[in-house]
Amino acid sequence: MVISSSNSYSKSNSDVIKINPSNKINVKRFTQNGQIQIYKSSFRGSYSSIISDCLRNASLGRKVLLVQFMKGGVNQGINNKVRLCDNLTWVRSSHSFDQYHSAEIENNENLKKSIHQSTFELWNFCKKELLSGENDQIILDEILLAIERKIIDKDDLISTLENRFISGDVILTGTDIPKDLLLMANQITELRS
């Protein structure tokens, strides 16, 4: 028996199950079909095309998870996910950087700690989703900025991506791409103004 993360997997995986004449089943690890795509921009807030794409995919019946690490607002967080098109789950940090001025965060250690905890909680949620196989596409918006600010560990992200179980694409966005992630990416797009 093969359990797939998606109801539509590639026909190129015909060797997933091989039945020999003695009716024994040899199961082979299901290879991931999805790609790792990285979108880089020199300025924040330039990923509207990605959000449009995830809405389109959700309306076509694909199960999509959009996670925004550095944006948040009132009544947000993993306990208050927003559902759109029946297939798009949109999650933002419950306490984010974009709610405050940078100087305000740097001068208030409790505020900084609260924001880091909220962002890290969101990352733990994303790790479970990447490993669950329940989504067809996952967008980790500004996760590279969370790595740059030392909230999320780069090696933890790499390990999670290496062990992911998703038939669709994982999209990462940010302003600075660590070299290790560049080597993992199937597609890198630099958005210019």
Domain containing residue 132: 33-191
pLDDT at 139: 95
Is residue 114 situated within a structural domain? yes
CATH value at residue 86:
3.40.50.300
pTM of the model: 0.77
Amino acid making up residue 24: K
pLDDT at 19: 44
H helical segments located in 60-140: 102-106, 109-132
pLDDT at 95: 77
> Are the CB atoms for 34 and 13 separated by under 8 Å?
no
CA separation for the pair 59, 148 (Å, rounded): 33
CA separation for the pair 155, 166 (Å, rounded): 19
Per residue of the chain (193 residues), give pLDDT as tens.
333 333 333 344 444 444 445 555 454 444 556 899 998 887 766 667 788 888 899 999 999 999 998 887 666 888 888 888 889 999 988 877 777 777 888 888 888 888 888 889 999 999 999 998 899 999 999 999 899 888 899 999 999 999 898 778 999 998 888 888 888 999 988 887 6
pLDDT at 71: 80
155: alpha, beta or left, given left = phi > 0 and alpha = psi -120 to 50? alpha
Is residue 18 situated within a structural domain? no
pLDDT at 185: 92
Is residue 73 situated within a structural domain? yes
First-residue to last-residue Cα distance in the chain: 50
Overall domain count for the chain: 1
